[in-house]
Structure 1
Amino acid sequence: MKTEPGIRHNVTRMLRYLALGGAMACYASFASAQDAPERDAFFWLGEMNKATAVINSEEGLLEAEMVPGIAAAIAQVIEEGNQPDADRPSTVITFEPLLIEAGSIDVTLLHAGRSSQDMHATYRAAILRDGLLSLADQLNATATTLVDLAERHKDTIVPNYTNGVAAQPNSFGHYLLGHAAGFSRDAQRIREAYARIDRSAMGTTVLNGTSWPLNRERMSDYLGFAGLVDNAYDASQISSMDHPVEVGQVVTSIALHSGNFVEDIMTQYAQTKPWILLEEGGENTYVSSAMPQKRNPGLLNNTRSDASQTIALAMGPVWQTHNITPGMPDPKGVGDNSAIVDAGINTLDRLDKVLKALVINPERALEELNSDWTASQELADLLMRDHGLPFREGHHFASEIVTYARSNDLGPLDFPYAEAQRIYAETVEGTDHPQELPLSEEQFRATLDPVAIIKARATTGGPQPAEMDRMIAAAREDIAAQEAWIGERRAHIDDALAKLDQDFQALLNGEAAPEGEEEANQ
């Protein structure tokens, strides 16, 4: 029997309604069982379709009688994609056929006012956004370990090095807080990059918008973005190429800071009798296959290698974006760009293990300080501060002491006071300054004491106890603020997606939006 087209359409619609009950049950079951589905491209394509269905139905851009079937098709595709080992299409052109199969060609009404360009730009931003929060989490964990270690060693006096040579005594805790300051700037870079990436491109279509009045603001809100990419051309042609480059820059800074720290440890570790070592065993160290005396620093080597690999990956988007026209796909690969973030996280995680494995020998550090002349600048400073001797004259005096000491294998603890007097007199001969060394032997010895030097520092930001306490507290405040920021950003996204789930479920149930809600969402 021949069936009229209108009758066939109504039959199809009736069958879809009958199937709707099962689809709603499947979706509700999925929503309750999957508290944290993987936020990959498939996930975000599903969220975009859910949001489009809700917004366009509430704003009258979809025929009311078609909405339940379209919503059921979306729910079915999402539910099937979340099954174990199921395919999870990552592009619009592979996702849409599943929607058509589940809900007929009518479901493509969703695509009015959209394009794979703006949809892909949106999920790439969402995935990078999640990645930056994970990176911030690990950075905070590593920074906390760093500051904890600094507090434990605020009174541990060690040599510090410039130009690869022992330079001055310092508190090991002060040294560590210097590295913590670098990571604090990295945390700031993450927040700044996040603010630029946390913008929705949805509704801009290919590059200049559309005559279809898709509500971009509501779409942005449902997907947990802080706002819109304002310019429609920028949305998928420019900013989406900027994002991976900027993330690569942030990760590069983190890797550089991590690598610098590890290399500083490696320099000391290579000494015959270092003052800093790793706890032996496990991943930390391993014995040479041929030389039984060696304890190779496997953890340091692996961390340095991780940092180098991170930088290599982070350079990828720069080269891929170089000399191509706007909007090309070269630097936009989700997998490649997620790998950059993951590499940064791995580097920080390995560095955290390094920090927890460090073994500091304060006595050996002090022995190294007293075996060299890292405190010699204090002689010039004291003579200028308390006795008016120009710094360059005092510097020359201290330098001549070091030259004589090294020629005669003398250290600060056994340098003859009489020789210091002689060298001073020769240094100031012919000047208007006092011709005799204005320091007693006791003062001369105390001036070369590394511990006393650190306690006497008066510089804001120096290693003296009061400043150490202040900077440790400030570092902890920074970490706490970063943790609060991470929590706020995650809560904003989670709340937005929860609201979308609620409104989409109402759509599946055939419920109208509560009075006034539509206006509030506009």
Structure 2
Amino acid sequence: MTDHDPRRSDTSTFPDPVYKETVLRPLFDGAKTHHVDGFRAIDRAHLVMLAETSILTADQAQAIARTLLAIDAEVDPATLTYTGEVEDYFFLIERELKTRLGPDLGGRLHTARSRNDIDHTLFKLGLKSRLDPLLARLRKLLAALIDAAERERATLIVAYTHGQPAQPTTFGHYLSAMIEVLIRDIERLIAARATVDLSPMGAAAITTSGFPIERARVAHLLGFSAPLQNSYSCIAAVDYITGTYGALELLFLHLGRPIQDFQFWTSFEVGQIYVPNALVQISSIMPQKRNPVPIEHMRHLASQTMGRARAVLDIMHNTPFTDMNDSEGETQAFGYEAFETAGRVLDLLTAFVEAIRIDGERVAENIRRSCITVTELADTLVRAEGLSFRQAHEIAASVARAVVAVGGDLGVKGYPAFVSTFEEATGRKCEMSAERFAEVVSPQYFVAVRTRFGGPAPEPLEAAFAGYRAQLAAFDVGAKALATRQSAAAHELETRFLALVGEPNGKN
């Protein structure tokens, strides 16, 4: 070193006041808000494992266990104010242990672990505690959609493409499309949760430990399915974060699209959805207006959720493959806000789907005005008259133009135009009667003949409903198994920890 080496003259002490206020205080407040239960569970599970592997003696483990109970009873995290005396919440608990037990015994709980593996375990526990309620809400929404689709299996609606009336289908068929996307989104979240469900504990800083720790035991006590295998991955891989928020982003991107349809369908000009009064607000100045504003709230909250989820992914972008603060406390707290808005959207959308009904009169009028059944006329001409589809399409298009020009009903006003157009195009008379023509261009017939796999006719739709019910049941079974496993693990951890304490009720 030279006389000019800054290390010789550095008399500063940690923490710098600005660093304390801009970084350490927010991190401490976030930990005491979001992760206290996780810290407590990790300390207890790690202590049980240290005792079971004889890394700590029974007496040492008992003393630490009793002190942890005392700290839990006497230190209320909600009342704590960050002073800078310790770096973070972890060191606060360790300071309490050392103060009460002495520096030697009080420091032994940290044997064979690091804040690195503790932090990522905390974050995974935090995500699991949010993913499970979210998945429960999604199953409730899925059930509501299936119920509504079955109820509306034969209820006609106008299906739109490019913002224009396209073909008739049923509301049950439309909702079935929503259901299938939602099932895939739930599967993505379940897959993400499976990654979250792998415990980092035992990785320590990076490379595990020379102590004879049992990583699988700690994972089991904390309710994880297993330990994450590679110890470097435990502290460096953030795919449990990106997988979760990537699935969340896609979920709300996808939900936002039918929500947008609902907005369009409730417009005065379309009006094919009726929203009951309980979900309608009236203008403060225009008494005639019925504003279905819950749709707007669902739309903007879905966008907020998607935006927050995407922001978490952006934060992970171009970060080093190692333990780093970008993925930790403040990012986790920021991400949790996405779960809060997500829950609001799902609850509101579930109630909305259960409440809305189709306005059949408006649907019938829109079908009449738009001639959207004319595709089946072209199809029928191909099947019954042996025409090419292109020639049949041109005849059907000419009929539609003639009907629209006079503002008529295709089934009534279309037949004369059809007869003349057919003869002009083919050079022969058509054998189709007026009655048969009216049937062919009816929306009921349009739906009924579309019996192919995935179509809106009763047969394929009923088969689809059975599949959706089976998938929902499978989701419910999986969720119940997870809840049972986690409950059993929590009970075992409590039992084993209190056994260390040495008294059945855990009191000193």
What interval of TM-score do these two structures reach, taking the shorter chain for normalisation? 0.7 to 0.9
1:60 to 42, 46, 54: 54
1:47 paired with 2:41, answer: yes
What's the offset of the Cα at 1:273?
6.0
1:413 to 406, 411, 419: 411
The amino acid of 2:52's aligned partner reads E
What's the offset of the Cα at 1:459?
0.7
Question: Measured at CA, do residues 500 and 442 of structure 1 come closer, stay the same or move farther in structure 2, by a change above 3 Å?
Answer: same
Matched ranges for 1:61-80 at <5 A: 61-80=55-74
1:500 to 493, 499, 507: 493
Matched ranges for 1:424-463 at <5 A: 424-428=422-426, 435-463=428-456
DSSP 3-state at the match of 1:457: coil
Matched ranges for 1:23-422 at <5 A: 40-81=34-75, 85-87=78-80, 91-105=89-103, 106-238=105-237, 241-272=238-269, 274-281=271-278, 284-326=279-321, 327-332=323-328, 333-422=331-420
Report if the CA contact (8 A) 2:36-2:77 is conserved: no
Superposed CA deviations along residues 410-459 of structure 1, whole A, max 9, x for unmatched, are 33133242321121223335xxxxx3224222211111010122122221
What's the offset of the Cα at 1:128?
0.7
Question: Measured at CA, do residues 107 and 226 of structure 1 come closer, stay the same or move farther in structure 2, by a change above 3 Å?
Answer: same
Identity %: 26
Question: Measured at CA, do residues 458 and 416 of structure 1 come closer, stay the same or move farther in structure 2, by a change above 3 Å?
Answer: closer
Report if the CA contact (8 A) 2:200-2:234 is conserved: yes
Partner of 1:473: 466
CA distance in 1, matches of 2:471, 2:312: 30
DSSP 3-state at the match of 1:160: strand
Report if the CA contact (8 A) 1:39-1:127 is conserved: no
Name the TM-score, length of structure 2 as normaliser.
0.87
Report if the CA contact (8 A) 1:254-1:344 is conserved: no
DSSP 3-state at the match of 1:414: helix
Report if the CA contact (8 A) 2:451-2:458 is conserved: no
The amino acid of 1:483's aligned partner reads D
In the alignment, structure 2 segments of 5+ residues that lack a partner are 1-31, 83-87
1:483 paired with 2:476, answer: yes
CA distance in 2, matches of 1:78, 1:390: 80
What's the offset of the Cα at 1:371?
2.3
CA distance in 2, matches of 1:213, 1:173: 59
Count of aligned pairs: 464
CA distance in 1, matches of 2:185, 2:274: 27
The amino acid of 1:322's aligned partner reads H
The amino acid of 1:277's aligned partner reads Y
Question: Measured at CA, do residues 75 and 416 of structure 1 come closer, stay the same or move farther in structure 2, by a change above 3 Å?
Answer: closer
CA distance in 2, matches of 1:88, 1:261: 46
Report if the CA contact (8 A) 1:41-1:91 is conserved: no
Once structures 1 and 2 are overlaid, which stretch shifts more, 485-494 or 70-79?
70-79
CA distance in 2, matches of 1:416, 1:285: 39
Report if the CA contact (8 A) 2:202-2:215 is conserved: yes
DSSP 3-state at the match of 1:462: coil
DSSP 3-state at the match of 2:158: strand
The amino acid of 1:286's aligned partner reads Q
The amino acid of 1:98's aligned partner reads E
What's the offset of the Cα at 1:71?
1.2
What's the offset of the Cα at 1:235?
0.6
What's the offset of the Cα at 1:218?
0.7
CA distance in 2, matches of 1:423, 1:442: 18
CA distance in 2, matches of 1:390, 1:162: 25
Report if the CA contact (8 A) 1:377-1:395 is conserved: yes
What's the offset of the Cα at 1:470?
2.1
Report if the CA contact (8 A) 1:77-1:102 is conserved: no
CA distance in 1, matches of 2:481, 2:383: 51
DSSP 3-state at the match of 1:168: strand
The amino acid of 2:139's aligned partner reads N
Report if the CA contact (8 A) 1:76-1:102 is conserved: no
Question: Measured at CA, do residues 416 and 117 of structure 1 come closer, stay the same or move farther in structure 2, by a change above 3 Å?
Answer: closer
Once structures 1 and 2 are overlaid, which stretch shifts more, 94-103 or 180-189?
94-103
CA distance in 1, matches of 2:297, 2:92: 40
Report if the CA contact (8 A) 1:372-1:411 is conserved: no
Name the TM-score, length of structure 1 as normaliser.
0.84
The amino acid of 1:163's aligned partner reads H
CA distance in 2, matches of 1:120, 1:84: 18
Report if the CA contact (8 A) 1:278-1:358 is conserved: yes
Report if the CA contact (8 A) 1:401-1:423 is conserved: yes
CA distance in 2, matches of 1:315, 1:438: 60
The amino acid of 2:422's aligned partner reads Y
The amino acid of 1:156's aligned partner reads T
Superposed CA deviations along residues 288-315 of structure 1, whole A, max 9, x for unmatched, are 2222221122111111111111111111
Question: Measured at CA, do residues 340 and 129 of structure 1 come closer, stay the same or move farther in structure 2, by a change above 3 Å?
Answer: same
Question: Measured at CA, do residues 441 and 115 of structure 1 come closer, stay the same or move farther in structure 2, by a change above 3 Å?
Answer: same
Report if the CA contact (8 A) 2:49-2:214 is conserved: yes
CA distance in 1, matches of 2:77, 2:360: 55
What's the offset of the Cα at 1:149?
1.1
Question: Measured at CA, do residues 454 and 131 of structure 1 come closer, stay the same or move farther in structure 2, by a change above 3 Å?
Answer: same
Partner of 1:8: none
CA distance in 2, matches of 1:70, 1:84: 19
2:502 to 503, 509, 518: 509
CA distance in 1, matches of 2:444, 2:98: 76
Partner of 2:26: none
DSSP 3-state at the match of 1:166: strand
Partner of 1:28: none
Question: Measured at CA, do residues 192 and 410 of structure 1 come closer, stay the same or move farther in structure 2, by a change above 3 Å?
Answer: same
